[in-house]
Amino acid sequence: MVTMRCLISTVLAILISTGCRRPSSPVAEIPPLPVVATEAVPPPASLSVIVDRGANLGTIAANAYGHERFSGFVAVLNGITDPGHLVAGQELKTPSFSSAFRDAGLDPRYQPAINALSKACTDYYAVEPAYLKARDESGVSSGTFPIPEGIRATFLGCADAIEAATAALRTSKPPDNVPKMTIGQLQQVSGLIRELASGSIDGYGYDHDMIGQRFGLAFTNAILWTQHQHP
């Protein structure tokens, strides 16, 4: 009995001395930030749009950037305070993402991250039609389908670039604030894109639509951050 008590005491002493620590979880490796020139980010088909009578900002944003939620981005770029009131004949700027941030006065320290993020967004929207076509043709309405390898690789590349860009933006130093709202939206985007890359289908069509919503909000918050942080 004494021997057993001694053994237990010894084991407890060892556990206490080591802190009873559990093995630490592996830290996810941050992908390298792609090197993307500002001029390498493709612009919309038109660098400006003339507002037609009855047009709305959501449709203009969707045509230019891929989703109606980029309406806030277009509004900020063009100084529109009331998105519901557009004037027929008004000309709206619809530049490439990267040049929009540069021209808005983005600190050059953050331009590489914004360029990589911008390229990831345009790459995603360039391949999304092919993805949706393959998805429809698979006949799978919910679950997973055999996503084409080329599309899968593009999606994963986009997710890697987004994660690298958010990591770079997170290093913002005073007097600049970390763009937390943008980073939060982008973290959701990268996760959703990885889900698509796995061939997953939610059965409702919300998955790819949510990517557009989060992208639009992220870019809107980012351009506001640029204007307020870099006077």
Domains and CATH numbers, the chain: 44-96 (3.10.350.10), 101-229 (1.20.120)
pLDDT higher than threshold 60 for residue 197: yes
Query: Which pLDDT belongs to residue 175?
Result: 74
Nearest to 101 by CA among 92, 86, 113: 113
Over its C-alpha atoms, the chain yields an Rg (Å, rounded) of: 23
Condensed to tens digits (0 to 9), the pLDDT of residues 47-88 reads 999 999 888 999 999 999 999 999 999 999 999 988 888 889
pLDDT bucket at 134, cuts 50 / 70 / 90: very high
Confidence band of 8 (pLDDT split at 50, 70, 90)? very low
Query: 137-194: per-residue pLDDT in tens?
Result: 999 988 999 999 999 999 999 999 999 999 999 988 777 788 999 999 999 999 999 9
Class of residue 74 by CB neighbours under 10 A (exposed 0-12, middle 13-18, buried 19+): buried
Tell me the per-residue pLDDT of 103-126, one tens digit each, with 9 for 90 and over: 999 999 999 999 999 999 999 999
DSSP codes of every residue in 11-53: HHHHHHHTTTPPPPPPPPPPPPPP---GGGSPPPS-SEEEPPT
Q: What percent of the chain shows pLDDT beyond 70?
A: 87
pTM (predicted TM-score): 0.85
Q: Which 3 state secondary structure label does DSSP give 231?
A: coil
Q: Which residues contact 224 (CB under 8 A, 6 or more apart)?
A: 76
229, pLDDT greater than 80: no
Residue-level pLDDT at 228: 84
More confident residue, 18 or 184: 184
